[in-house]
Amino acid sequence: MTPDNSASLDIDTDSTPARLRLSGRLDAEHCADLWPRARAAMTQGAVVDTSAVDYCDGTGAALLFDLIQRGGTVEGLPERFAPLLAELEPDHPLIIPRRPPPPGVIATLGRVVAEVTLEARAAIVFIGEASAAFASVMRRPRELRLGETLRVATSAGADALPIVALIAFLLGVILSFQSAVPMRQFGAELFVANLVGLSLVRELAPLMTAVLLAGRTGAAFAAEIGTMKVNQEIDALVTMGLDPMRFLVLPRLIAVACTMPLLTLFAELIGMFGAALVLIGFGIPMATSASQIIDFVDMSDYLTGLFKSFVFGLGIAGIGCMRGLQTGSGARAVGAAATSADVRAIVMLVVADGLFAVAFYYLDW
């Protein structure tokens, strides 16, 4: 006899047919050890003696099912456990649907091409619909949801000031410090202000602000609109005759396109302030740094940076809204939409920045 709270398996392979004797408690806790041994010892026609089983639950019954399916015959199962085993229909093998084979290289390539094509088509359709909605609002400005636009502008713009300030300040500090040390060897630390000022205005402030906005606002748009899609709020808008493009997307596009240049300008000023603070440590007064920047960075540089930030803002908001509207069903889809919006926005920023660099070079801006 086994103790009350244990189970045991005795295997007699000398007899014909082989005999497996299970005893004690057949539950998840006690089956764990003996199940692999029973499985390994099982032969066609083996007898599984269960007359000494004190307790059997669903897991124990699953063990007996497994042994029956491997050709065993269960004998002596106490009557009170028989219905449990019968419930599992041990005479019927499990139906395990055959999984389709993984697609081949050509099929995978075809699917990727199809996905990219559909994605490009969806982007073109989205841009077209957004432009049409914008044109409609231009004709009838009252159609724009001004309250919602201001709410989004506050959330995407004013609420982002602290994080933008922190990153821009650190960017200015790091950039000036890293360049001041080597330039000091040539006695050229005065020109660090020119370097930092121009880099911030033309490149770094628009790009860093856009990266922050992509993570903070673009993903939030995708999650917000995606949740609305999952909750059928988008369907409700459509059936009420309200265009989601005008109702949801346009306020976000306008709000971000307007706030993004302002945020960039703010980031430029804070970054320059950080750089000027570092240069004080190198014996250059703040007024001198300011004067260097004012003289060296002209209006076209500012306008170039602000134009880029305007385009970046439109792109980030557009991608966030588009991914939100494309959300599938379930909580996982919302997360996937937010992640996708973030990643695509950053890819878009890098590509667009590269294109701007080439274009401005040829335009001599």
- The contact set with another protein (CB under 8 A) reads 27-29, 31-33, 35-36, 39, 57-59, 61-63, 65-66, 83-84, 87-89, 94-97, 99, 329-332
Strand order in the sheet with 47-56: 7-12, 19-26, 47-56, 73-75
Q: Which is nearer to another protein, 136 or 339 (CB)?
A: 339
Q: Nearest distance from residue 87's CB to another protein, in Å?
A: 5
Alpha helices, H only, 70-191:
82-87, 105-139, 146-156, 161-184
The nearest distance, CB 69 to another protein, in angstroms, is 9
Residues 6 or more apart from 208 whose CB is under 8 A from it? Answer: 167, 168, 171, 267
Q: What angle do CA 161, 297, 189 make, to 5 degrees?
A: 95
Collapsing DSSP to helix, strand or coil, 284 comes out as: coil
Closer to another protein by CB, 28 or 166: give it.
28
The residues, ordered by sequence, that sit 6+ positions from 94 with a Cβ below 8 Å of its Cβ are 69
Minimum CB separation of residue 230 from another protein in Å reads 11
Smallest separation, CB 334 to another protein (Å): 10
**Nearest distance in Å: CB 33, another protein:** 8
Q: Closest distance between another protein and the C-beta of residue 344, in Å?
A: 21
Contact 308, 204 (CB under 8 A): no
CB of 300 to another protein, least distance (A): 51
Could you tell me the CA-to-CA distances from 336 to 133, 226, 235, 300 in Å, in that order?
Answer: 27, 10, 20, 40
Nearer to another protein, 39 or 111 (CB): 39
The full DSSP string for 210-227 is: HHHHIIIIIHHHHHHHHH
Burial of 79 (0-12, 13-18, 19+ CB in 10 A): exposed
Nearer to another protein, 36 or 78 (CB): 36
Nearer to another protein, 33 or 233 (CB): 33
User: Residue 39 or residue 151: which is nearer to another protein going by CB?
Assistant: 39
Closest residue by Cα to residue 256 from 201, 306, 180, 315: 315
Q: Which is nearer to another protein, 68 or 220 (CB)?
A: 68
Q: Which DSSP state fits 200?
A: I
Q: Which is nearer to another protein, 146 or 331 (CB)?
A: 331
Whether the CB-CB separation of 274 and 168 falls below 8 Å is answered with: yes
Rounded to a whole number of angstroms, the minimum distance from the CB of residue 324 to another protein is 18
